[in-house]
Amino acid sequence: MKLTEAEWQIMNALWQKHPATARDIMDRLDRRVNWAYTTIKTMLTRLVEKKAVGEVKAGNTSVYEPLVSQQKARLSAFRSLLDQAFDGAVGPLVHFLAEEEQLTAKEKAELKKILEREAQSKGE
């Protein structure tokens, strides 16, 4: 379930709240995105073909629903990144994260906090 950049935009809006019409999605799209209504319809059609989104008619209007969970899509994208850019392993990614100056101190702190909380709640 590989999504393209444009498709992610649509899916993000759809996951936010659904079912949704093309118009709903248009309104909820990221500010930076400014597509014509038909562009959104085209993306939706392609997503339906891909089985990433379900479509049902309500009167003359299509109502859409994600068929792929955000979690699943994220996993797939994450795996791709790992395979492509980090030798397919989490290790290199972890190193990268830790060493990368681009991660702000705040992000690092957040990372640590979450890891600690996780460790506790799962008794690891």
Partner DNA sequence: TGTTGCCTTCGACATATGTAGTAGAATGGC
Partner DNA sequence: GCCATTCTACTACATATGTCGAAGGCAACA
Hey, which residues does 57 pair with through a beta bridge?
62
Cβ closest to DNA, residue 41 vs residue 103: 41
Cis peptide before 19 (omega within 30 of 0): yes
Cβ closest to a second copy, residue 17 vs residue 112: 112
Q: Does 23 bind DNA (CB under 7 A)?
A: yes
Q: Which of 11, 13, 20, 43 binds DNA (CB under 7 A)?
A: 43
Q: Which of 23, 27, 61, 100 binds a second copy (CB under 8 A)?
A: 100
Q: What three-state secondary structure class fits 66?
A: strand
From a second copy, DNA, none, which one binds at residue 74 (CB under 5 to 8 Å depending on kind)? a second copy
- Count the residues of the shown chain that bind a second copy, applying the rule CB under 8 A: 41
Q: Which of residues 49-68 bind DNA (CB under 7 A)?
A: 59-62
What are φ and ψ of residue 61, in 5° steps?
-115, 140
User: In 34-100, at which residue ranges do the beta strands (DSSP E only) sit?
Assistant: 53-58, 61-66
Cβ closest to a second copy, residue 56 vs residue 90: 90
Distances (CA, A) of 16 to 5, 20, 52, 64, 66: 17, 10, 15, 12, 10
